Amino acid sequence: MSTNKYKVINTRVHNIDGIAKVTGRATYTFDVKLPGMLYGKILRSPHPHAKILKIDTSKALELPGVKAVVTGKDTLGIKQGIWRRYEELCDEQILPLEKVRYIGEPVAAVAAVTEEIAEKALDLIDVEYEVLPAVFEPLDAIKKDAPVIHEGVERNINVTRHIEWGDVDDAFAEAEKDGYIREDWFKCGGQHHACMETRAAVSSYTPDGKLTVWTSTQSPYYHQALLAGVLGLREGDVRVIAPYVGGGFGGKFELDAAQFCSAVLSMKLCKPVKIVFTREEDMIASKRRTPMYYYVRTAVKKDGTFLARESRMFSNGGAYTGMGATALYLSGFFHSFPYKWRGYRYDGYRVYTNTMPSTSMRGFGAPQAVFCSEQQIEWICKDLGLDPFEVRRKNAHTEGYEVPGQAFIQSCGMKECIDKIEQWVKSKGKLPANRAIGVSSCGFMSGGIFNWFDTPYSFSSAVVTINYDGTVELHVGCQDIGQGSNTTMAIICAETLGVRVEDVKVHSGDTDHCPADLGAWGSRQTLMAGNAVKMAAEDAKRQLLEFAYAEMGMNIVYDLDIKDRWVHIVARPERGMPYFDLVKKALRGKDGQRIIGRGYYTPHRKGMISPAYSYMMQAVDAEVDPETGKITIHEIMTAHDCGQPINPLGLVGQLEGAASMALGYGYLEDMPFEDGKLMNPNLVDYKIIRATEMPETGMIEIDTYEPEGPYGAKEAGEGLTNPTAAALGNALFHALGIQMKELPITPERVLKALREKDEAKKQKKNT
Amino acid sequence: MEKYLLKLTVNGQEYEVYINPKTLLVEVIRDYLGFTGTKRGCETVSCGACTVTVNGKSVKSCSILAMQVDGMEIVTSEGLEKNGKLSPIQKAFLDHGAFQCGFCTSGMLMSATAFLDELNGRIPKKHEIKEAIEGNLCRCTGYNSIVRAIEAVAQGEYKEERQ
Amino acid sequence: MIHDFHYLKPDSLKTALAMYAEHEDCKVICGGQSLLIVMRQGMVAPEYLLDIKHIHELSYISFDNQKGLRIGATTTHREIEQSPLIQEKYPVLAAMENKLASIQTRNWGTIGGNLAHADPAGDPAPVLIALKASIKVGSIKGERVMPLDEFFVDYFETAMEHGELILEVQVPPPAPKTGVAYQKFNLLDSDMGIVAVAASVTLDRDGKCKDTRVVLGNAGPTPLRMKNIESLLIGKKLNEKLFEEAGKISSTESQPVADIHASEEHRRHLLGVLTRRMLKQACDIAQKG
């Protein structure tokens, strides 16, 4: 471990929200209670596809305690979506006017004095439907005669994406002559965010025409803008407050029914209305990870040099676009990652179906893409008798590489990651029967360059204000959803300004007081909000130091800096003055005005995806019981390049948390639908990994410096979700010789693969 | 529906409430007494976010009728500190980063507290610690930091310095 | 939402039985770990709820060498799991309780409540039946004892008549040269079993099988005592081949129902594998004893 040159960065600091969270003081939207508050409940469609003919709310309104019932007719009927720039992708009326497109879709909402009364009222709402034929799988929905889910959308194709570079056909032709080509089909399942806090919102509309919404959100700004848009309000008249947020993972930055319906009800009554989804509602009627069918065709030279890849992907978009369009693109890009391809072609098709919409979820299409890519690479290595580490190393991205037309790679520790994991795997020696280690490489973006939201604001902003006593108010728009962004920003601010974390008070989660920020998704905040904070703190420090230069009057060749509350000459650190004294002088010098520093960041000319990419290789040590198919994960080791770690305690938390979620995606979590109905909408039947199944996890940090990131930092929250399913599949491949082409890897699928392998062996013997 | 009198001690303080007998313990704790540290994350007694201790034993307060704890002592996460001084397990959670979004944290702390109190000074094996929190789901941390925090307390790294 | 009910809290068994007999539409709650879930879903909505959780006279674990083990109905799972007596004399019971559910559920839920709920996926029943347990029930009319394998009638249905409460579970003293093993198949450690098998083997002095029981969990409407396996094995010298044959009987004669977690074929396959494994394990323990 190299010595840390920083005073605050990369030191073990307590999470600044820790005291609130470990003492029960932290309040979440779930806990918000306001005087006169009413409780809302949502009536949901029992049909996957149906016209709404009539909704009779009269009986429900008569129930004592019921204050209002709303349907689509009580709204502006605006079709909204998060891809605001593209009207055709704004396809969702949260309370639809004409038809429902998935089981669980809201059709009406009730506000009553108690939750129990609101729920009883739901049974009294009469909805007349005309049931329509429905379709549930993308490969069915894309057929010519499939039911039309959105009028005017041909073959239910919601979005397509094409990524291409190099001469793909030429490369395949070469491989056909004297190389090797392999093609495989894969099926990746959905997954639910399953945040511990379900979707929740408390809306309060007041007679002055202002709306305040407390909500569990990853982006208060997005919700402010989206709510204003659908409710016909000015953004400035909508205040979104994020109390502590109980998890997001990609599922809480789009407008959801809790926010929308509570707002509509509140606007009707001028009373606060609270809607909290039950776990069942959360599971059937939010949005999930995108299930994907992948066709992958790869051409390599006999020595393992990658030539070209041609892939086609069909995703189950569910009923609406949501963030699915982004997942479609990112999946296709990270399907090529982290390798150099002479030619690459990806065609992605997002297809509407009559199921719960699919959207972003940690990893954003990459876990699926990597599951296919990294396993096929392993099988190619086996087919050709090549070493999987050597092949990966040979083709890996390097510093300075340009993914043609897509991305500029600056810092890149891929090779070092491969070296470290290779060493680690070798050190484990021979493992017992039915047990093996599988590996997977990948990487991820540190926030996206795209502005499909069509914001006029900087992607991230920050304001640093220094008080008389030297304490610092840091206002940011980035949202802490548990990943510790408040702490990360406090660390960056403290390091830059030269103070301690305990001197910095972070303000976030309130659109009335904080600048706009795109929020916590796409693993963007450390890089983007971090850059904004660094800029703001530098601005504040520069203003502050003007007074120190004046005070100390030293030779023009000398510089001043502040470290650990000590203002000093850089060349002669023993000469200086306390930061706290300087602040007092500065305030007086500015006529009693506090120093305010401003910072912001928007990526410009950073390629098509992201300013910077993390890299990693992960090894999963797994054992299978070949008679029952049960999988036991023994250990996970990851070599990880996230540039400069800012918050080491937080980094380990991201590694372990991502591993737990990715393992779930690999072998535990499943969302089976039957005729559009989710069969396991509860936490008994939806299997989330528990402490007893969680393996030991280790991390090898690879040191790089990313010029685009604050102090060289890049992402760590999402990329770590990408490799695990593939690594697990590769472990099973080496342990039992089976190729798992479907997620999740269930015991039944393992046994089926074993049987098929034995059958194939027998057939080979007989021929 | 007639209301019944329930007397219980929560975090060292005696309370009397009149409740409909179908009221769950978690509803008394959160809605009647205002201790919102304890959370609810499911309807099927699966997630453990509602864990509190009743006479020292960890229980899921969503799975218990409040009337059944008449006369008993309940402790929630708000009751772990003493005059602002954090308990060893709370300190350990801070030191080890054993939380992220924090929604499961109150329940985790109570499962951990019950487990540590039951040990009576014995050093547990790692798998016992994992079993102690097996009933508490966490979507953020991957559990290992929580296990490390509990282990640190069990191994005596945080000797109580209470007056 | 739970429907309203009248709440009855007797302070003694006698009062409880009298109250229960008095009210027709009355359900009994002890730990409530199973009952409250179904009440919340509205599937069960009695007019009266009889709370016997704190009838301490039904909370005990006792043993003597003649009568064997007696566990009172309101004894919690955790008390059974942690009882030094049970850990010593019936370790398979303690081990089963340890994996029954989360600690929180085991702290409050009771053996009586579990058996009364009659979930065919419940862990205690197969183990207790393998241990040849009996169950004592009582009402104001009197008490009766029956073998536990006759207690379960159908999915979530027992042989109890209205007004009867479970009073205690009775397990005969451990026999020499006897091994009992239990395993459930699940993805997560303390989940209900997708399927489960309990097996007991008693060997005679010549090492032949003197007595055996194989009980399948979650393989039918009630725990299934596989009498055909008993007749296959008793009197024989046990070996792998016999264990495999026993497994085949479990596979073919069980009645598992498919759901999203596993198909019927997979359950049958697992029952065969677990039967073979548990018989072997029980046999190994018996040989050492």
Cα Rg of chain A, angstroms: 27
Q: Is the dihedral of CA A238, A244, A249, A251 positive or negative?
A: negative
Domain with residue A270: its CATH number is: 3.90.1170.50
Same domain, C65 and C167: yes
| Mean pLDDT calculated for residue range A212-236 | 98
> What is the pairing mode between strands C48-51 and C26-29?
parallel
If you measure CA to CA, which chain B residue comes closest to A24?
Answer: B37
In a domain, A516, yes or no: yes
Q: Does residue C78 lie in a domain region?
A: yes
Q: What's the token pair of residue B35? A: 């201790």
Interface test with A, best of B42, B128, B146 (most A CBs within 10 A): B42
CB contacts under 8 A, B 42-61 vs A, are 42-44, 46-47, 49
Predicted confidence (pLDDT) at residue A420 exceeds the cutoff of 60: yes
Alpha carbon of B68: minimum distance to chain A alpha carbons (Å): 22
Q: Which residue of A has its CA nearest to C265?
A: A748
- Taking phi over 0 as left and psi of -120 to 50 as alpha, with beta for the rest, A676 belongs to left
**Domain containing residue A516: CATH number:** 3.30.365.10
Judge if C81 and C161 occupy the same domain: yes
pLDDT of A50 above 80: yes
Cβ–Cβ gap C4/B1 under 8 Å: yes
Whether residues C167 and C62 share a domain: the answer is yes
Choose one of C136, C151, C171: the last residue of a domain.
C171
Q: Which residues of C touch A627 (CB under 8 A)?
A: 273
Hey, is C288 helix, strand or coil? helix
Residue C72 is given by DSSP the state E
DSSP A455-520: --S-SEEEEEEE-TTS-EEEEE----SSS-HHHHHHHHHHHHHT--GGGEEEE-SBTTTS-----S
Pure H helices in chain C: 13-22, 35-40, 77-82, 84-89, 91-98, 103-108, 111-117, 124-130, 227-233, 240-253, 264-288
Phi, psi of A698 (to 5 degrees): -130, 160
User: Which chain C positions have a beta carbon within 8 Å of A628's beta carbon?
Assistant: 185, 270, 273
- Give the chain B residue nearest A14 (alpha carbons): B94
Nearest C-alpha in C relative to A114: C1
Structure tokens of C155?
A: 């999915």
Q: Which two tokens stand for residue A390?
A: 């050597």
Residue A287: alpha-carbon gap to chain centroid: 13
Look up residue A614 and give its amino acid: S
| DSSP annotation string for B79-98 | GSSBTTBPPHHHHHHHHHT-
**For the purposes of burial, counting CB atoms within 10 Å of the CB of C252, is it exposed (0-12), middle (13-18) or buried (19 or more)?**
exposed
Give the ipTM: 0.97
Distance CA C36, CA A258 (A): 27
- DSSP letter, residue A49: S
To the nearest 10 degrees (0 to 180), the angle between helices A257-269 and A220-231 is 50
% of chain A exceeding 70 in pLDDT: 100
Distance from CA of C177 to the nearest CA of A (A): 29
Would the pLDDT of A57 be above 70? yes
Q: How far does B55 lie from chain A, in Å, by closest CA?
A: 20
Same domain (yes/no): C64, C137: yes
Q: What's the total number of domains in chain A?
A: 3
Of the three residues C137, C155, C171, the one that is the final residue of a domain is C171
Whether B125 contacts chain A with CB within 8 A: no
Give yes or no: residues A547 and A594 share one domain: yes
By CA distance, what is A680's nearest residue in C?
Answer: C260
Residue identified by tokens 């991305």 is A407
Return d(Cα B128, Cα B114) in angstroms, integer. 13
In this structure, is residue A333 part of a structural domain? no
C189: nearest CB among A120, A670, A692: A692
Does A634 lie in the same domain as A523? Answer: no
User: What residues have CB less than 8 Å from A440, skipping those under 6 apart?
Assistant: A370, A374, A617, A618, A620, A722, A723, A724, A726, A727, A730
pLDDT band for position A729 (50/70/90)? very high
Q: Characterize B23-60 residue by residue with b for buried, 16 or more Cβ atoms within 10 angstroms of its Cβ, and e for exposed.
A: bbbbbbbbebbebbbbbbbbbbbbbbbbbbbbeebbbb
User: Do residues C112 and C32 share a domain?
Assistant: no
Who contacts A629 (Cβ-Cβ below 8 Å, separation ≥6)?
A: A746, A747, A748, A749, A750, A751, A754
Phi, psi of C57 (to 5 degrees): -65, -15
Nearest to A197 among B76, B97, B103 (CB): B103
- Residue A228 belongs to what H/E stretch? helix A220-231
In a domain, A464, yes or no: yes
In a domain, A160, yes or no: no
Same domain, A559 and A637: no
Asked if residue A556 is part of any domain, the answer here is yes
Provide the domain count of chain C.
3
Q: For C108, which of B21, B64, B131 is closest by C-beta distance?
A: B64
A686 touches chain B (CB under 8 A): no
Query: Using CB atoms, which chains have 3+ pairs under 8 A with A?
Result: B, C
In a domain, C282, yes or no: yes
Task: For chain B, say whether C107 makes contact (Cβ under 8 Å).
Answer: yes
Nearest residue of chain B to residue A481 (CA atoms): B101
Beta bridge mates, A273: A38, A203
Q: Which residues pair with A160 in a beta bridge?
A: A349
DSSP state of A73: G
Region of residue C134 (phi > 0: left; psi between -120 and 50: alpha; otherwise: beta): beta
Name residue A685's amino acid: D
- Asked if the C-beta of B70 comes within 8 angstroms of chain A's C-beta atoms, the answer is no
Identify which of A652, A684, A691 has the shortest CB distance to residue B143.
A691
Q: Do the chains contact at B57 and C9, CB–CB below 8 Å?
A: no
To probe the interface with B, which of A196, A197, A637, A686 has the most B CB atoms within 10 Å? Answer: A196
Q: Do A509 and A220 meet the contact criterion of CB atoms below 8 Å apart? A: yes
Q: CA of A39 to nearest chain B CA: how many angstroms apart?
A: 14
Q: Is A519 on the interface with B (CB under 8 A)?
A: no
Q: Indicate the residue of C190, C191, C266 with minimum beta-carbon distance to A748.
A: C266
Q: Whose CA is closest to A669, among A249, A311, A350, A385?
A: A249
Task: Assess contact for C195 and C278: CB atoms under 8 A.
Answer: no
A15, A19, A197 ranked by CB distance to B97: nearest: A15
The Cα-based distances of A517 to A214, A228, A250, A599, C28 in angstroms read: 17, 16, 16, 12, 55
Q: What is the CATH number of the domain that holds C240?
A: 3.30.390.50
Same domain, A66 and A39: yes
Does residue A472 share a domain with residue A393?
no
| Closest CA of chain C from A140, distance in Å | 22
Tell me what the pLDDT averaged over chain A comes to.
97
Torsion of CA A755, A759, A761, A767, to 10 degrees: 180
Query: Which range marks the domain in which residue A483 is found?
Result: 18-25+459-601
Q: Residue A491 — pLDDT band, cuts 50, 70, 90?
A: very high
Q: Return the number of other C-beta atoms located less than 10 Å from residue A177's C-beta.
A: 7
Is A700 found in the same domain as A637?
A: yes
The backbone torsions φ and ψ at residue C24, rounded to the nearest 5 degrees and listed phi first, read -70, -55
Q: Identify the CATH number of the domain in which residue C133 sits.
A: 3.30.465.10
User: Given an 8 Å threshold on Cβ–Cβ distance, is C104 in contact with B132?
Assistant: no
Residue C108: which of B21, B59, B132 has the nearest Cβ?
B59
Q: Please give the DSSP secondary-structure letter assigned to residue A208.
A: T
Same domain, A491 and A390: no
**CATH code for position C20:** 3.30.43.10
* Tokens coding A161: 């994406």
CB distance from B141 to chain A under 8 Å? yes
Q: A544-562 pLDDT, tens per residue? A: 999 999 999 989 999 999 9
Shared domain for A699 and A594, answered yes or no, is: no
A670 contact residues in C (CB cutoff 8 A): 260
Establish if A687 belongs to a structural domain: yes
Q: Does residue B56 belong to the interface with chain C, where contact is any CB pair within 8 Å?
A: no
Which of C171, C201, C235 is the last residue before a domain boundary? C171
pLDDT band (50, 70, 90) for residue A767? confident
Quick check: bond before A578 cis, omega within 30? no
State the pLDDT at residue A531. 98
C167 and C271 within one domain: no
Dihedrals phi, psi of A528, to nearest 5 degrees = -80, -55
A442 has pLDDT over 70: yes
Q: Where are the beta strands (DSSP E) in A613-746?
A: 613-624, 631-641, 673-674, 677-678, 696-701
Domain that holds residue C32: 6-51
pLDDT in 10s for each residue of chain C, 289 residues: 899 999 999 999 999 999 999 999 999 999 999 899 999 988 999 999 999 999 999 999 999 999 999 999 999 999 999 999 999 999 999 999 999 999 999 999 999 999 999 999 999 999 999 999 999 999 999 999 999 999 999 999 999 999 999 999 999 999 999 999 999 999 999 899 999 999 999 999 999 999 999 999 999 999 999 999 999 999 999 999 999 999 999 999 999 999 999 999 999 999 999 999 999 999 999 999 7
Chain A: residue nearest B89 by CA? A22
Please report the sign of the dihedral spanned by the C-alpha atoms of residue A601, residue A607, residue A612, residue A618.
Answer: positive
Give the whole-number percent of chain A exceeding pLDDT 90. 98
Residue C190 lies in a domain: yes
Write out chain C residues lying below 8 Å of A679, CB-based. 260
Q: Is A488 part of a structural domain of the chain?
A: yes
Residue C189 lies in a domain: yes
Residue in chain C lying closest to A120 (CA):
C1
Helix (H, G, I), strand (E, B) or coil at C270: helix
Answer whether the bond into residue A96 is a cis peptide, omega within 30°. no
Whether residue C188 and residue A679 make contact (CB cut-off 8 A), yes or no, is no
User: A497 Cβ partners below 8 Å, 6+ apart?
Assistant: A464, A466, A472, A504, A537, A540, A541, A562
Residue whose token pair is 């073998």: C147
- Domain membership flag for residue C116: yes
What tokens appear for A664 in the block? 């779930």
Spatial distance between the Cα atoms of A32 and A258, rounded to a whole number of angstroms? 14
Query: A residues 247-286 near B, CB within 8 Å?
Result: 247, 249, 278-280
- Residue C275 inside a domain? The answer is yes
Q: In A65-137, at which residue ranges do the beta strands (DSSP E only) sit?
A: 66-71, 99-100, 106-112, 126-131
Residue C250 lies in a domain: yes
B132 touches chain C (CB under 8 A): yes
DSSP string, A276-296: E--HHHHHHSS-EEPPEEEEE
For residues A463 and A582, membership in a common domain is answered with yes
A530 and A577 in a single domain? The answer is yes
Q: Is residue A414 part of a domain?
A: yes
Report residues of chain B scoring pLDDT below 50.
162-163
What is d(CA C197, CA C212) in angstroms, rounded to the nearest whole number? 13
Report the distance separating Cα B122 and Cα B111, nearest Å. Answer: 17
* Residue C1 within any structural domain of the chain: no
C105, closest residue in chain B (CA to CA) = B59
Instruction: State how far residue A619 is from chain C, nearest Cα, in angstroms.
Output: 22
Q: How many helices (H) and strands (E) does chain A have?
A: 18, 32
Is the CB of residue A523 less than 8 Å from the CB of residue A445?
A: yes
Same domain, yes or no: C43 and C76: no
The distance of B5 to chain A (nearest Cα, Å) reads 22
CB pairs under 8 A, 24+ apart, for C258-263?
Answer: C260/A670, C260/A672, C260/A679, C260/A680, C260/A685, C261/A685, C261/C187, C261/C194, C262/A747, C262/A748, C262/C194, C262/C195, C263/A748
Strand intervals (E) in A302-411: 306-318, 343-352, 358-359, 402-403, 407-408
Q: What is the pLDDT of residue C1?
A: 86
Q: Tell me, what's the pLDDT at A2?
A: 60
Please list every residue in chain A whose beta carbon sits closer than 8 Å to the beta carbon of residue B38: 24
Question: pLDDT per residue over A739-751, tens digit each?
Answer: 999 999 999 999 9
Residues C185 and C281 in one domain: yes
Same domain, C126 and C160: yes
Considering the domain architecture, whether residues A80 and A43 belong to the same structural domain is answered as yes
- Which element (helix H / strand E) includes A122? helix A115-123
- Together in a domain, C232 and C278: yes
Cβ distance B59 to C51 less than 8 Å, yes or no, reads no
In a shared domain, residues A550 and A527: yes
CA atoms within 13 A on the CB side of C95: 12
Cβ–Cβ of B77/A652 closer than 8 Å? no
User: Best mutation site among C104, C186, C188, C275 for testing chain A: the one with the most A CBs within 10 Å?
Assistant: C188
Q: Same domain for C153 and C195?
A: no
Tokens of A511: 């659109």
Across the range A153-167, mean pLDDT stands at: 97
| pLDDT exceeds 50 at position A300 | yes
Domains of chain B as residue ranges with CATH: 4-79 (3.10.20.30), 88-154 (1.10.150.120)
Residues of A in Cβ contact (< 8 Å) with C191:
684, 687
Calpha distance C83→C69 (Å, rounded): 12
CA quadruple A279, A281, A285, A291: dihedral sign: positive
Closest Cα of chain B to C188: distance in Å?
A: 10
Residues C219 and C204 in one domain: yes
A766 in contact with chain B, both atoms CB, cutoff 8 A: no
